[in-house]
Amino acid sequence: MQTITTFDNTAEGWERSLYAFLAEKERRSGSRRTVVGYSRMLQHFFGTVGKPPDRVTSPEVFAWGYGVGLSGKQPSSVTIGARLACLSSFYRFLIRMDIVSSNPCDALERPRVQVGTPRGLTGDDIRKLLAVIPATPVGLRDRAIILTLTLTGRRRAEVLNMVAGDLTHEDGVTWYRYRGKGNKQGNRELPQPAYVAITAALSAFGRDIATMPPDASLWPSSAGHGGVTSGTFYGNLRRYLKVAGLPLAGVHIFRHSAAKLRRDAGESIENVSRFLDHSSLQVTSIYLRRLEGEADGSWGKVAAAIGV
């Protein structure tokens, strides 16, 4: 993170408050990406306004929140909402710490956000996508990632951060350990097609999961010893989607697809919600998942739907 230099003669004190806020945000959300985003927005706001937090006015917040950004374009309602939510969250923290007495964001009306309908690929779409991926080491690795994302419903980072030590075997079943959003942790069954694809990809890179170090990535990179980066996989995915004649999308579409395919396979909304680890899960359920593996009785139907 960059160092704030615009808080006049109280810069060090405000800087410590900012870092304390970001540390708390990361602890609560479990998302480094969220913290980086918040840090950039706060740095930009206070660098633009040139005042310490206790001297900022609501009109100044309005001008920044609704103002043209570095792109030179008018911000969307989503961008405006994100800016105001970030700044307001920081001020709520400062008020809770008895550092300031008011929140200049409270006087502003938030824009009404038009939420787009989540998209998900159908079973036929997944088949088309898998069919265009080449049988090269990189292609086999990307195929394994796509199958793992689709069959487990995990988020991008949760899958791309998987290492050899996250997989265990018991009574003919492979289990994977994951670290999810909000520091949620669990141990679930890894659908067999995903495991077969993973081992095939590793073999193509000359690696054997049985002899790999526990901290070795499951997704080798041809560029070095580390795992594939999120950006590299995203770029490959866009090319595959284009070749398959499918709409361009981000990696998160596989989480939507996993939910859609589960519902299409007859799963209840409650089971899909639990499968995705949504926040409605009870604390007891989270506790139990940490203690024991959770069998996955539906992956077979999803695997059949996508032809693996």
- 1 falls within a domain: no
Distance (Å, whole) CA 127 – CA 141: 16
pLDDT at 17: 87
**pTM for this structure?**
0.64
Q: Are residues 55 and 167 in the same domain?
A: no
Does 30 have pLDDT greater than 80? no
Does 252 have pLDDT greater than 70? yes
Distance (Å, whole) CA 241 – CA 110: 36
- State the residue range of the domain holding 70: 8-107
Q: What would the pLDDT profile of 147-186 be if each residue is shown by its tens digit?
A: 999 999 998 989 999 999 999 999 889 999 988 776 677 8
Q: Are residues 85 and 177 in the same domain?
A: no
- 2 falls within a domain: no
- 258 falls within a domain: yes
Q: Are residues 62 and 163 in the same domain?
A: no
